Structure 1
Amino acid sequence: MIADRPSDLRSIAMASSASSTSSAANRTSPAVPVTHHRTAVVEGLKIFYRQAGPLDAPVVLLLHGFPTSSHMFRNLIPALADRYHVVAPDYPGYGQSDMPDRAEFAYTFDRYAELVDGLLDQLGARRYTMYVMDYGAPVGWRLALKHPDRVAGFIVQNGNAYDEGLKGFWDPIKAYWADGSDASRNALLPLLTLETTIFQYTDGVSDRTRVSPDNWVHDQALLDRPGNNDIQLDLFYDYRTNLPLYPKVQAYFREFRPPMLIVWGKNDVIFPADGAYPYKEDLPDVETHLLDTGHFALEDKADEMVPLIRDFLAQKVDSRP
C-alpha cells in the first residue's frame, strides 16, 4: 500500500514507533552479576569474602596478594560471575577479615591456607580453579598439595613457584631470613609506607590514569592500623618457608598436569618475568601471556586479561554447553 495522505503517514510512523518500542522492550539485556559481601566464622575467626555467580557453577577461587585484599578482584568478579561461582576471601590481617593479635595467632602461609580450606569446606566447594597472585600463590600451592584432586586449574598472575623469580627486590628480605635480627626486620619498614604502596600499583604501568588511586588509599588505611606493621613483618619472615616448598609444587605440576594460564605483568620488579618462564619446564602446555604492565596487572590490563581468562576457563574448565 502506498501512503499518499498525511494521515496515512502519521499512522505508519506511529505504528513503526510502537513496533520499535515493543522490540526494544522484548530484547533481553544481559544480567549484571551481583557481588555479595559475606563473613564466615572459620576456626573462631571472621573471614570476609566476596561471592558472586550461580552456586552450582564451576568455582573460581581468587587469592589476593600483599598489601591488598579481595578488593583487588572487585572488577574481575562480575566479569566472570555470569558463568562461574566466584569466591574471593580476605586473609586475617587484610581487608575486612579479623586481625587477631599476633601473640594469639600465627601469621603464616600455612595458617592462611588452612583457613581458606576451611572456608571452602563451609561453602561446599569440592573442586575449583585458583587465581593466584603474589601471596595468593603460596596459599594456593598449599591447597593444591593438600587436595590435588580438587584443583581444576590455575590462573597465575605474578605469583612465584621458582627460585628464578626472586631477584634483587628480595635481597633485604632474604637478609632478614638469614639472621632474623631486629635490625634486619626494621630495615623492611619502608615497604609498608604509602610511597611503596603507590609504587606497587604504578611502577611499570604505561598509562597511570588507568589505575585508580582508591587502591593505595584503601590498602594504606588498612596497613596503618595499629599492630599491622608487625603482622606484615611476620609474613615477610614466614615467606622463607615457601622456597623449600617449590620442589614439591613443581613435582605436583609434573604429576598432575593442572591446566594453567599465566597472565603476568612483565615490568614487575617484585615478581619479575624471570619467574614466569620456568613454569613451562614442568607444564609444557601452559599458556603464557606477558603483559606490558607491572605488579597489579588487573588494574590497567583487565581489558586484555578478562578475555584470556574467560577463554581459558571455557576451554579447560567449563564443560557445560
Structure 2
Amino acid sequence: MTAVSAPSLAVLPVRYQTVRVNDQDVFYREAGSKSSSTILLLHGFPTSSNMFRNLIPRLASSFHVVTPDYPGFGMSSMPDHKNFSYTFENLTNIVEGFVETLGLGKYSMYVMDYGAPIGYRLALRQPDRVQALIVQNGNAYDEGLLKFWDPIKAYWAAPTPENRKALLFLVDQKSTQWQYENGVADKTLLDPTTWVLDQVGLDRPGNSDIQLDLFLSYGTNVPLYPEFQAFFRKYQPPTLIVWGKNDFIFPAEGAAPYRRDLKNLEIHLLDTGHFALETHGEEIAGRIEEFLKKQKL
C-alpha cells in the first residue's frame, strides 16, 4: 500500500456562527487561531461575508480571520427599514458591538466598498485598535466618486420619491451581475453563484427599501472624508491597497490619494473590476501575508 503524504499546510475549518448585537442577529464566519493576529473583513454592496469565502481559509493558517454580515445583508437579521435605521452610522454601531461581543482587542481591517466607510467610522471610534489596513476598492477621497455616482448624488441633493425610484435599477439582477463582470477580461474566472446569491438577498420583500436608504445614507460618509484622512495622518496605520483598476464604481482614481496621508503604504492596481477577489484572490492573499509579515503582525 502506498502511503499518502500529509499536506504541508493544514487547511483550518471555517466556523459559521451568529451572535446577538443591539437586538439583531449578526451572522459571521471565523477561522484561524484566536492567538494569532486578527483580520476583520468588512464586505461591500450588494454582497455579504460570502465575498470572502475563498480568502478566509487561505489566510486562516496565519491569522485569526473574522467577517460579519451587516443587518439587511447575507444571513444576518433583516428588520423592516421602518423599524431599524439603515444608515452607515448605525451599521457601524452594529460592527462596533460585534467587535466588543467577540472581544477583538486589536485587529487589522480589510475594507471594500461599503466596508470602507463602516471600517473608517469604526477606526475613528477605536483608533488605537487598528493595526493595519487592507483596502480593496474602498473610497475615502472625493477623487474616487466619479460618473457612476451622478444619479446617487442627485438623490443626496434632492431625496425625492422620483430620485429614489430612479435608483431601483441598482438592485436588479442585470446590475448585480454587471458589478461582477464589468472590467474583467476573463469572465470564465467568475463564479456565477456569487451574483445569484446576492440577488436572492436583494429580492427579499422590503430589501430594496433597505438598499435605497443606504444609498441615501452614503452621502453622510463624504463629509467625513477629512476625518478619515486625519486618522490616516495621525495614526499612520500600515496600509496595503489591492485595487481592481477597471472598477467603474470605485475607479483607480480613488486609490492614489491615499499617498497624500499615509507613509507606510503599498499600492497594487490589479487588472480586474469591482470584486477583485473573484479573479485575483490568490495574489491578494499572498500580498496580505507578505505585507502583514513585514509589519510583524
State the match for 2:216 in structure 1.
Answer: 237
Q: Which of 283, 289, 293 in structure 1 is aligned with 2:268?
A: 289
Structure 2 unaligned regions, length at least 5? none
Q: Which of 247, 254, 259 in structure 1 is aligned with 2:238?
A: 259
SS of the equivalent of 1:278 reads: helix
Deviations 1:50-71 (A, max 9, x none): 0100011111000000000000
| 110-119 vs 267-276, which moves further | 110-119
2:165 is aligned with 1:186: yes
State the match for 1:155 in structure 2.
Answer: 134
State the match for 2:182 in structure 1.
Answer: 203
TM-score (ref. length: structure 1): 0.91
Aligned partners of 1:151, 1:226: CA distance in 2, in Å?
Answer: 37
What's the offset of the Cα at 1:30?
2.2
Within-5 A mapping of 1:71-86? 71-86=50-65
SS of the equivalent of 1:96 reads: coil
What's the offset of the Cα at 1:303?
2.2
Aligned partners of 1:36, 1:284: CA distance in 2, in Å?
Answer: 36
2:22 is aligned with 1:50: no
The answer to whether the Cα contact below 8 Å between 2:237 and 2:264 also exists between their aligned partners in 1 is: no
Q: What is the RMSD of the two structures over their aligned residues, measured on CA atoms?
A: 1.1
Q: Between Structure 1 and Structure 2, whose CA radius of gyration is higher?
A: 1
Q: Which of 31, 52, 77 in structure 1 is aligned with 2:10?
A: 31
Deviations 1:88-147 (A, max 9, x none): 000000000000011111001111111111111111101000000000000000110001
2:101 is aligned with 1:122: yes
The answer to whether the Cα contact below 8 Å between 1:152 and 1:317 also exists between their aligned partners in 2 is: no
State the match for 1:94 in structure 2.
Answer: 73
SS of the equivalent of 2:256 reads: coil
Percent of aligned pairs with the same residue?
57
What's the offset of the Cα at 1:313?
1.5
Structure 1 unaligned regions, length at least 5? 1-17
State the match for 2:154 in structure 1.
Answer: 175
Aligned partners of 2:41, 2:264: CA distance in 1, in Å?
Answer: 22
Aligned partners of 1:84, 1:122: CA distance in 2, in Å?
Answer: 19
Partner amino acid, structure 1, of 2:231 = Y
Aligned partners of 1:280, 1:308: CA distance in 2, in Å?
Answer: 18
Q: Which of 40, 44, 48 in structure 2 is aligned with 1:69?
A: 48
Number of residue equivalences: 297
Aligned partners of 1:308, 1:85: CA distance in 2, in Å?
Answer: 17
Aligned partners of 2:23, 2:43: CA distance in 1, in Å?
Answer: 22
What's the offset of the Cα at 1:298?
0.2
What's the offset of the Cα at 1:305?
1.2
